[in-house]
Chain A
Amino acid sequence: MTTLTSYLVLSVILFLFGVFGLMERRNLVGLLISVELMLNAASINFMAFNHFMFPGTVTGQIMTLFVIGLAAAEATLFLAIVFAVYRHYRSVNVERVDHLRG
């Protein structure tokens, strides 16, 4: 049951949830949640390939640790940006934040 393919298919499904959320959500916090889903799917891939293709090594696990660290930094900055955007525009709808539109 715990095979490489089952892990990969699960990670693809989670990634697609993330893609769908990224396309459909209009709220900045909703976008952040979708991005976290996609990062999580990437972590699953790293762990699965590490275990099934390169048993006995730790490179994939360390990549996953780095992904977790980067996600923490990203979430911090993202939430600060949400605060700043809300203060300026009184909205976190990404379609209203269009002052840089070309």
Chain B
Amino acid sequence: MNDFLFIVGLLTALGGGLLAVIARNLFHAAIGLAATLAGTACLFVPIGGEFVAVIQVLVYLGAVAVSIVFILMLSPPFYLKRVHRNALKLLGAVIVTLVVAVPLFAAALAAGPAKGSTAAAPTVQQIGRALLTEFVFPFEIISVLLTVAIIGAIVIARDLPEDEQAVLAEKVPAVKEVDA
């Protein structure tokens, strides 16, 4: 059962990740991201992370991925614009990725042998207890951060008043062609 979940999660996560970076249509990329997040939730189950898997589906898949799809649906369809492939930039991206890949793979393969895991997987009770005792400070900071982020998002995304828009229009020359 665990091996089955691992294989399913691995294929979903890797396939989704590949789609998320190579899809030309950004909507497909968002779907790929959603697949990766679901696959990751699958991967958490065999290593005793049932609770985290549920939270991953609820928050990551249900809120973050959906909000990305929302912005693609609500905005002008810039995600349909074809990007001119620039061979030089593509080559640069591949080189940077390979340079980053070497030390990361070395570190992953050199990771010490796992300790024999006989302890039972942590229960939700343990996680809740740790959140409200040992980690209560970061827990509270995160709640403040989320509130600030929501208020900040509203402030940034709101419409500017007319006079400020006029001032801005003088300063920022209109970009005619949209090639996003």
* Residue numbers in A under 8 Å from B115 (CB-CB): 52-55
Q: Is the CB of A75 within 8 A of B146?
A: no
Pick from A20, A23, A36, A83: contact of B156, CB below 8 A.
A83
Q: Is the CB of B120 within 8 A of A56?
A: yes
Q: Is the CB of A56 within 8 A of B142?
A: no
Q: Is the CB of A33 within 8 A of B64?
A: no
Question: Known: A61-B49, A68-B56. Contact between A34 and B175, CB under 8 A?
Answer: no
Q: Is the CB of B108 within 8 A of A73?
A: no
Q: Which 7 A-B pairs have the closest CB atoms?
A: A56-B119, A23-B93, A52-B114, A80-B153, A21-B21, A51-B47, A8-B108
Task: Kindly provide the distance from the CB of B148 to the nearest chain A CB, expressed in whole angstroms.
Answer: 8
Q: Is the CB of A29 within 8 A of B26?
A: yes
For chain B, the count of residues having a C-beta within 8 Å of the partner chain is 92
Chain A to chain B contacts (Cβ below 8 Å), 27 pairs:
A2-B6, A5-B108, A5-B109, A13-B17, A14-B36, A17-B20, A17-B21, A18-B21, A23-B93, A25-B21, A26-B83, A27-B180, A33-B26, A37-B36, A44-B43, A55-B115, A61-B51, A61-B127, A65-B52, A72-B59, A73-B142, A79-B71, A82-B75, A86-B75, A86-B76, A90-B174, A90-B175
Task: Kindly provide the distance from the CB of A18 to the nearest chain B CB, expressed in whole angstroms.
Answer: 8
Q: Is the CB of A10 within 8 A of B13?
A: yes
**Binary CB contact string for chain B from 37 to 50 against chain A (1 if under 8 A, 0 otherwise):** 10010011011110
B62-106 residues at the A interface, CB under 8 angstroms: 63-64, 67-68, 70-72, 75-76, 78-79, 83, 89-90, 92-94, 96-97, 100-101, 104-105
When C-beta atoms are compared, the residue in chain A nearest to B105 turns out to be A12
* Residue numbers in B under 8 Å from A36 (CB-CB): 33, 37, 64, 68
Q: Is the CB of B21 within 8 A of A91?
A: no
Task: Kindly provide the distance from the CB of B166 to the nearest chain A CB, expressed in whole angstroms.
Answer: 13
When C-beta atoms are compared, the residue in chain A nearest to B113 turns out to be A4
Task: Kindly provide the distance from the CB of A75 to the nearest chain B CB, expressed in whole angstroms.
Answer: 5
Q: Is the CB of A64 within 8 A of B52?
A: yes
Q: Is the CB of A58 within 8 A of B126?
A: yes
